[in-house]
């Protein structure tokens, strides 16, 4: 009895489930048909299939347009004629950034293009409603064209199209109502994500950051630092280019965008570093692939180089060369394309592609091409033409008949005058500097302008200045040089707006110093101080990037318990407040680092100008068992201990 009762209860549950499903399906069918009837309530019932047919055509044509927009970077129609506006990825993909221009697609542009595409192609699908020729007659409404309104939302596209068509069956005639269709497609979200990626790249240069990181992380490419070997070091730029192309292709694909759909690699390096936050929300269903193909072109320049061959920076002092120490302070300039593909996990058949160039100049992003060239990049030949007093220009003349002719004209290239006043950065107008050499650099052209002196120009002033015309240039650089002072550079446009202006150039005086190095020795956690010992060699670097200041000194302990300079620069500082130097000292013995000092030092102007000597320190920890791990631990201890030993001026 009990088993029969249980079986009866199961049968009841099954019946209830079936009834529930039937009710649910019935409600769905009822809702569907009532909504469709409501949508076309003013259309005679026999014509509703025509409207439904138009709906399907509208959706089909719209999806064709969306696909077209996706593979063309959001442009349904080709936007640019020049070939360089597109990356050849097997099909042309437009660059969303080119020659300083933001070429990303706006939502309004996409909606307008899709509307045009639908209006131009809907008739191909409708085929004059040939499928209904046996039932109905169709006619266009006179003096009316197809009009479309499209709204692209996050995951849907809403269409409202007026086909301007009448339909009749011999007894009844009606005008097809506006066809309203809502298509599920995430092109709106893809466009938003693409815009955020491009905006972040243009503002932060994350692609250039990763390019520089890839180069710096290589154990083959010369970048920054020291190497100890007597073997010669040489690289050909062509070989370096092939290597970098492969390295970029291998690594750039690991970029992950916060908030999107991605899988971590399991490698802590990539999972911690290769993540970019572009500020995009509600994109967790979108996947972004970042691609570089080595078959695509890449420009590469490495400084310094000689005829396409890169070597280490030669450390040659006044009396001795150091062939077994290789110093690297190399700068990479490169440009190459990157392709982004955005896909939706639920509709991967509608990808979204766009491209951008990576523009890195001397290891830094230079997307707006504002970075001034190095002296070795100056074009001496064309500089002479640019710096001449006159230049040849093409004039375009239109006569009264509208015919345009061209004439070569000679125009003055030095039209606008500026007064340059150079002064000591500490004393200001109390110490205006005489005999300061002034040059002007515009991109890769360098012009000699003159020097500050008493009586320059037409103004009768009692201090030295340079009053002179300058070659016309947007965002060029004034370069001021004087013995005993650090070279000063200032961005300055020369145009009609700056004509007659006065430019004040503060210059930092250089204070030469002698120096000594004290070794802070850690022996079994007992700290003592000592001088450098025979066979030890110290490389000292002082750097302030804001003012393009860098000095490298090399000191060696000789057998007579004395130290001698063996290469590079004199020890000197800028006489100025608020200048912070990155001080780096590496102590070597037997071709191995044994000590390290890292410190951010901000001496005062009074402290620098009133001193003749600098006391420097370098911590060293004994390594009892010579393994790589123990040496690394010792270096890490030394860099941590550096914070307790600020340089001392006296």
184 vs 21, residue with greater confidence: 184
Please provide the average confidence, as pLDDT, over all residues in the chain: 84
Distance (Å, whole) CA 299 – CA 285: 36
Collapse the DSSP code of 243 into the 3-class scheme (helix H, G, I; strand E, B; otherwise coil) and give the result. Answer: helix
H or E segment at 478? strand 473-481
Distance (Å, whole) CA 374 – CA 377: 5
Task: Pick the closest to residue 515 from 475, 550, 482, 542 (CA basis).
Answer: 542
H or E segment at 496? none
Cα→Cα distances 577→505, 583, 605, Å = 16, 17, 5
The predicted structure's pLDDT at residue 26: 52
Query: Taking residues 565-594, what's their average pLDDT?
Result: 82
Class of domain 411-507: mainly beta
H or E segment at 346? none
Collapse the DSSP code of 226 into the 3-class scheme (helix H, G, I; strand E, B; otherwise coil) and give the result. Answer: strand
In the numeric block, the tokens 């009609």 are attached to 496
| Tens-place pLDDT, residues 253-299 | 999 999 999 999 998 889 999 999 999 888 999 999 999 999 999 99
Query: Taking residues 77-94, what's their average pLDDT?
Result: 91
Show the beta-strand stretches assigned E in 199-250.
224-228, 234-236
Phi, psi of 22 (to 5 degrees): -65, -40
Length of the chain as a residue count: 650
Half-sphere exposure (Cβ direction) of 310: Cα atoms closer than 13 Å: 22
The predicted structure's pLDDT at residue 319: 38
Query: β-pairing, 147-152 with 156-162?
Result: antiparallel
Q: Are 422 and 432 in contact (CB under 8 A)?
A: yes
**pLDDT confidence of 442, banded at 50, 70, 90?**
confident
For residue 2, pLDDT over 70 is answered with: no
By the 10 Å C-beta count (0-12 exposed, 13-18 middle, 19+ buried), 461 is classed as middle
For 245-266, the DSSP string reads: HHHHHHHGGG-EETTS-----S
Q: Where do the CATH 2.60.40 domains begin and end in the chain?
A: 411-507
Tell me the three-class secondary structure of 125-178, residue by residue. HHHHHHHHCCCCEEEECCCCCCEEEEEECCCEEEEEEECCEEEECCCCEEECCC
Query: Taking residues 366-386, what's their average pLDDT?
Result: 67
**pLDDT confidence of 306, banded at 50, 70, 90?**
confident
Enumerate residues 6+ apart whose C-beta is below 8 A from 542: 549, 550, 551, 552, 571, 573, 581, 582, 583
Query: Taking residues 573-590, what's their average pLDDT?
Result: 89
Q: Are 452 and 461 in contact (CB under 8 A)?
A: no
| Tens-place pLDDT, residues 26-45 | 544 444 444 555 678 789 99
| Tens-place pLDDT, residues 99-146 | 888 999 999 999 999 999 999 999 999 998 999 988 999 998 887 889
Phi, psi of 374 (to 5 degrees): -70, 160
| Tens-place pLDDT, residues 168-210 | 988 899 999 999 999 999 999 999 999 999 999 999 999 999 9
pTM of the model: 0.63
């Amino acid at each position: 009895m009990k088993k029969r009762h249980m079986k009866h209860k199961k049968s009841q549950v099954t019946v209830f489930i079936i009834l529930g499903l039937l009710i649910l399906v019935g409600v769905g069918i009822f809702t569907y048909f009532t909504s469709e009837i409501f949508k076309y309530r003013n259309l005679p019932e026999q014509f509703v299939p025509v409207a439904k047919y138009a709906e399907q055509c509208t959706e089909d044509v719209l999806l064709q347009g969306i696909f077209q927009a996706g593979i063309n970077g959001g442009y349904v129609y080709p936007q640019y004629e020049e070939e360089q506006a597109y990356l050849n990825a097997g099909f042309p993909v437009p660059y969303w950034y080119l020659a300083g221009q933001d070429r990303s697609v706006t939502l309004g542009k996409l909606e307008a293009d899709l509307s045009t595409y639908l209006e131009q192609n809907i008739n191909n699908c409708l085929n004059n409603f040939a499928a209904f020729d046996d039932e109905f007659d169709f006619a266009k409404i006179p003096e009316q064209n197809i009009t479309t309104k499209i709204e692209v939302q996050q995951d849907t596209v809403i269409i409202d199209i007026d086909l301007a068509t009448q339909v009749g069956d011999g007894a009844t005639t009606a005008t097809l109502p506006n066809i309203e269709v809502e298509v599920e497609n995430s092109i709106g979200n893809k466009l938003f994500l693409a815009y955020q990626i491009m905006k972040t790249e243009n503002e932060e240069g994350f692609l250039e950051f990763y390019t520089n990181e890839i180069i710096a992380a290589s154990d083959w490419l010369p970048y920054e630092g020291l190497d100890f070997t007597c073997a010669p070091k040489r690289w050909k730029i062509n070989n370096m280019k092939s290597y970098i192309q492969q390295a970029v292709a291998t690594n750039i694909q690991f970029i992950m965008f916060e908030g999107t759909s991605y899988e971590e690699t399991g490698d802590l390096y990539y999972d911690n570093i290769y993540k970019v936050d572009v500020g995009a929300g509600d994109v967790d269903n979108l996947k972004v692939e970042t691609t570089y193909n080595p078959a695509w072109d890449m420009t590469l320049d490495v400084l310094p180089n000689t005829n396409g061959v890169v070597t280490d920076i030669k450390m040659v002092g006044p009396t001795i060369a150091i062939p077994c120490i290789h110093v690297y302070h190399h700068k990479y300039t490169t440009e190459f394309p990157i392709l982004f593909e955005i896909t939706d996990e639920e509709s991967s058949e509608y990808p979204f592609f766009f491209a951008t160039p990576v523009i890195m100049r001397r290891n830094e992003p230079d997307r707006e091409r504002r970075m001034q060239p190095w002296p070795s990049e100056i074009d001496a030949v064309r500089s002479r033409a640019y710096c001449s007093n006159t230049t040849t220009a093409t004039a375009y003349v239109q006569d009264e008949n509208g015919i345009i002719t061209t004439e070569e004209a000679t125009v003055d290239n030095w039209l606008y005058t500026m007064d340059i006043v150079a002064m000591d950065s500490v004393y200001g107008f109390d110490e205006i500097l005489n005999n300061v050499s002034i040059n002007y650099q515009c991109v890769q052209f360098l012009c000699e302008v003159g020097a500050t002196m008493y009586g320059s120009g037409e103004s009768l002033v009692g201090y030295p200045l340079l009053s002179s015309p300058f070659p016309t240039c947007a965002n060029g650089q004034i370069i001021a040089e004087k013995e005993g002072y650090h070279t000063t550079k200032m961005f300055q446009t020369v145009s009609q707006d700056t004509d007659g202006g006065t430019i004040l150039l503060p210059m930092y005086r250089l204070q030469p110093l002698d120096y000594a190095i004290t070794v802070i020795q850690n022996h079994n956690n007992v700290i003592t101080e000592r001088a450098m010992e025979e066979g030890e060699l110290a490389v000292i670097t002082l750097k302030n990037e804001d003012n393009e200041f860098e000095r490298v000194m090399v000191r060696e302990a000789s057998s007579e318990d004395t130290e001698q300079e063996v290469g590079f620069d004199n020890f000197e500082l800028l006489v100025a407040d608020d200048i912070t130097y990155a001080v780096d000292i590496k102590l070597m013995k037997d071709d191995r680092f044994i000590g390290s000092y890292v410190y951010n030092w901000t001496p005062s102007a009074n402290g620098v100008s009133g001193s003749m000597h600098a006391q420097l320190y370098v911590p060293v920890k004994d390594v009892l068992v010579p393994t790589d791990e123990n040496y690394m631990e010792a270096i890490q201890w030394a860099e941590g201990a550096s914070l307790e030993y600020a340089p001392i001026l006296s």
